[in-house]
DNA sequence: GAGTGGTCTAGACCACAAC
DNA sequence: TTGTGGTCTAGACCACTCA
């Protein structure tokens, strides 16, 4: 077991790049993460202590600590004072709920997502929407209603409200990419999002769009997203076919 | 605006306690958090830069950085290189989904939670449960089914499976406290949990217990929780009345 | 007592944004 | 050019766990 650790630590040492733009702590943490997910570092394996690890890699202790902390936050490692650092037990290596769109989620899981734009226009915001986006009531906003499918099976009905900066997004763009990717290409990066997940009965048109029995259950998500400057750039409320989609999270106590 | 900052920064300086067990970065971050949530630091307000803040408080830059980072992770502050640190815009100061039980959630929101234990026995684990808890198939486990209400309105039906360490928990204890609190009192602290949130139709007995129409929608959560050593200490699948409960999260891009 | 992680310091250089 | 946060170093002392 100690053997395994030594092996990949040497790999890691060989792979460190001090000239490139990638932070050292990130190089260490991502190599470690790969080793854990691949099983090279099995569940329960103990890491060397932080000082020794640092010396072996030619890094300072704070840098090593930061790398380890990243993985603790992801729920892959557990640290205990006086004991050491261990790989978490069990098969509980789920990926975090990322700040990505459904489109990227589906694409990442080897499915072929497709989008049908149902509605796409400019209209005055109602009170809820204006408040969520931090705009004066009645301001114009971009309204968007899409049906998202994977492998030709409908998964979700997505309703979004966007500030007028995005009025020139075309319907074609929306059918080819995820909303967040379109935004990123325009220099807008989502930084913070508040989500609320719930359930309710499907409306009649939703049931039809999702190929569900009328009044059947749907999973719902409401989200307000903010860019780096803290400006609200998206408000949406979506509903999902519960047999096709669910939300997975890893929580780590602080 | 610069006035406000100066004022509370001085308060903070006065309040720092270097003798006690509370880390300095935590004292700083929690004071800052209080100032933001109370509105003393309004949305959009810019903080002093990290060096100046450190000098004024008599702290090193890494300590200040750590304090600020805590609030960035909570979605209360936004940092931009070359620009500075600002309080996030809008009213989006939701609290994180904490690693707490429903009981504590409800109690924290000024309601009076109550619990009815419906079933409580020891039985062999089925395959799914044994695998989730990392036990050999057929091992004995503690089975638990509870109805949770708030202000006498039913909110959830909770089904839990626990390792045999917890076989001596009494039904009375379960009706008086949350499960996590009982575990904590026995020296077991939840450190990591994997959750999956979804929706489905209510079963007939669930509909009755939750006072719902038969076949109506319920919000579901499945969770496996691990203690500090990485051992699985709880597996559960719960269902919630969607008009009484939902899950709120703040996501922060890394 | 020996070993571990938890905290803290006092510097340094860099990349990026704004003027 | 100036100011900001992002990264990194090389130490230090402490609290906790275990033998």
d(CA B91, CA B109): 18
Q: Is the CB of A95 under 7 A from strand C?
A: no
pLDDT in tens, B15-64: 788 888 889 999 999 999 998 888 888 888 889 999 999 988 899 999 99
Q: For A205, phi and psi rounded to 5 degrees?
A: -70, -30
In the block, residue with structure tokens 């978490």: A88
- pLDDT for res B235: 96
Listed in sequence order, the residues at least 6 apart from B55 whose beta carbon sits closer than 8 Å to its beta carbon are none
Quick check: B148 and B156 in contact, CB under 8 A?
A: yes
Which of residues B71, B87, B103 is at a domain's end? B87
B142 shares a domain with B77: no
- Is B23 within 7 A of strand D by CB distance? no
Residue A160 lies in a domain: yes
Chain segment A11-22, per-residue pLDDT in tens: 666 678 888 889
CB atoms near residue A64 (< 10 Å): 25
The answer to the question of residue B254 being in a domain is no
Residue-number span of the structural domain to which A214 is assigned: 93-248
pLDDT for residue B92 is more than 70: no
Same domain, A22 and A100: no
| Prediction pTM value | 0.86
Is it the case that residue A95 has pLDDT exceeding 70?
no
Radius of gyration of chain A (CA): 22
- Do B239 and B154 belong to one domain? yes
Given B70, B87, B104, which residue is the final one in a domain?
B87
| pLDDT-based confidence at residue A1 (cuts at 50, 70, 90) | very low
Q: Is the pLDDT of residue A220 over 70?
A: yes
Q: What is the pLDDT of residue A119?
A: 97
At A20, phi and psi to the nearest 5? -70, 180
CA dihedral B33, B35, B39, B44 (to 10 degrees): -70
Out of A65, A87, A109, a domain closes at: A87
Is A15 in the same domain as A51? yes
Number of neighbours of residue A98 by Cβ within 10 angstroms: 12
Q: Report the percent of chain A where pLDDT is more than 90.
A: 53
| B127 and B195 part of one domain | yes
The mean per-residue pLDDT over the stretch B209-232 comes to: 91
What proportion of chain A, given as a percentage, has pLDDT over 70? Answer: 87
Q: Which residue has better confidence, B9 or A61?
A: A61
Flag the least confident range among A56-65, A115-124, B13-22, B166-175. Answer: B13-22
Does position A106 have pLDDT exceeding 90, yes or no?
no
Is the domain of A14 the same as that of A97? Answer: no
User: Is A4 part of any domain?
Assistant: no
Q: Is the CB of B191 under 7 A from strand C?
A: no
Count chain A–chain B contacts defined by CB atoms under 8 A. Answer: 174
- Strand blocks (E) in A69-207: 77-80, 84-87, 113-124, 140-150, 153-162, 190-201
Q: Mark which residues 39-58 of B lie under 8 Å from A by CB.
A: 43-44
The pLDDT, as a whole number, for residue A173 is: 94
Q: pLDDT for B163-200, tens place per residue? A: 999 999 999 999 998 898 899 888 888 888 888 999 99
Q: Are residues A113 and A203 in the same domain?
A: yes
**Which single residue is written with the structure tokens 């309703």?**
A159
Helix (H, G, I), strand (E, B) or coil at A209: helix
Nucleotide nearest to A65 (CA to C1'): C5
Q: A128 in contact with B at a CB cutoff of 8 Å?
A: no
- In chain B, positions 21-60 with C-beta closer than 7 Å to nucleic chain C are 23-26, 58-60
Number of domains in chain B: 2
Does any CB of chain A come closer than 8 Å to the CB of residue B233?
no
Confidence of residue B125 (pLDDT cuts 50, 70, 90): very high
Q: Is the pLDDT of residue B93 over 60?
A: no
Whole-angstrom distance, CA of residue B96 vs CA of residue A55: 37
């Amino acid at each position: 077991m100690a053997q395994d650790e030594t092996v990949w630590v040497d790999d890691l040492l060989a792979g460190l790049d001090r000239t490139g733009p990638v932070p050292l702590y990130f190089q260490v943490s991502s190599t470690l993460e790969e080793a854990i997910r691949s099983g090279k570092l099995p569940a329960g394996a103990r890491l060397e202590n932080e000082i020794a690890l640092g010396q072996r890699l030619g890094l300072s202790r704070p840098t090593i600590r930061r790398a380890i902390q990243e993985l603790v936050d992801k729920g892959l490692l557990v640290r205990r004072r006086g004991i050491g650092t261990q790989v978490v037990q069990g098969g509980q290596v789920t990926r975090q709920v990322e700040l990505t769109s459904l489109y990227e989620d589906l694409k990442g899981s080897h499915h072929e997502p497709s989008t049908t734009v149902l509605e796409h226009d400019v209209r005055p915001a109602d009170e809820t929407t204006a408040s969520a986006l931090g705009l004066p009531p009645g301001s114009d906003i971009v309204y968007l209603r899409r049906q998202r499918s994977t492998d030709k099976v409908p998964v979700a009905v997505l309703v979004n409200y966007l500030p007028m900066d995005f009025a020139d997004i075309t319907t074609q763009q929306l059918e080819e990419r995820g909303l967040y990717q379109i935004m990123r290409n325009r220099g807008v990066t989502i930084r913070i999002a508040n989500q609320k997940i719930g359930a309710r009965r499907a409306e009649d048109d939703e049931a039809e769009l999702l190929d569900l029995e009328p009044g059947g259950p749907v999973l719902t998500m409401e989200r307000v997203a903010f860019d780096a400057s803290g400006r609200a750039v998206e408000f949406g409320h979506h509903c999902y076919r519960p047999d096709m989609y669910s939300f997975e999270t890893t929580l780590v106590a602080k």
